[in-house]
Amino acid sequence: MRCRYCAEYVGLFRRCCADCRTLLEVYERHRADIALSELLDRLIATGVARPKIEAVLERDPDGTGSVRDRVTADMSNRLLAAMGVPAKQTAADVRKLRERGGGTASTARPAGDAAPPRTRGSS
């Protein structure tokens, strides 16, 4: 059988490899109290390769929404609750907006090696 996230061989009775399971545990442990950028920092700190981190963030093996969509829904709900608006955003709602092209905002963190923008007057 193969991992439902990264497609690595995991044996006969497992559905998830050890690396992806570690990443999912980090997500579940810190789900309620951090934003996506902090989650990415904690996922990277596990030492798991970036392609596996991206696979865990993107895949939706059980149909409840990808981890990235769930984090976005959680952040939206916290923001709405802080503004006094009833919060009811789900990962499925986020997926629909993303697939429909609901804007130019991105939930992906920019590459750490990207050069900072040039300031005016510098050559």
The structure tokens listed for 26 are 């980090």
CA distance from start to end of the chain = 56
Enumerate residues 6+ apart whose C-beta is below 8 A from 52: 5, 6, 19, 20, 23
3-state SS assignment for residue 43: helix
Helix 67-82 / helix 36-45 crossing angle, nearest 10 deg = 140
Domain ranges of the chain: 18-100
The structure tokens listed for 103 are 């804007």
Q: What is the CA radius of gyration of the chain?
A: 17
DSSP 110: P
Per-residue model confidence as pLDDT tens for the chain (123 residues): 899 999 888 888 888 999 999 999 999 898 877 777 788 899 999 999 999 999 999 998 888 888 888 888 888 888 888 888 887 888 888 888 877 875 555 556 556 555 556 677 655
Could you give the C-alpha distances from 53 to 3, 72, 103, in angstroms and in order? 13, 16, 24
Tell me how far apart the alpha carbons of residues 39 and 117 are, in angstroms, rounded to a whole number: 25
Tell me how far apart the alpha carbons of residues 36 and 9 are, in angstroms, rounded to a whole number: 28
pTM (2 decimals)? 0.70
CB atoms within 10 A of CB 115: 5
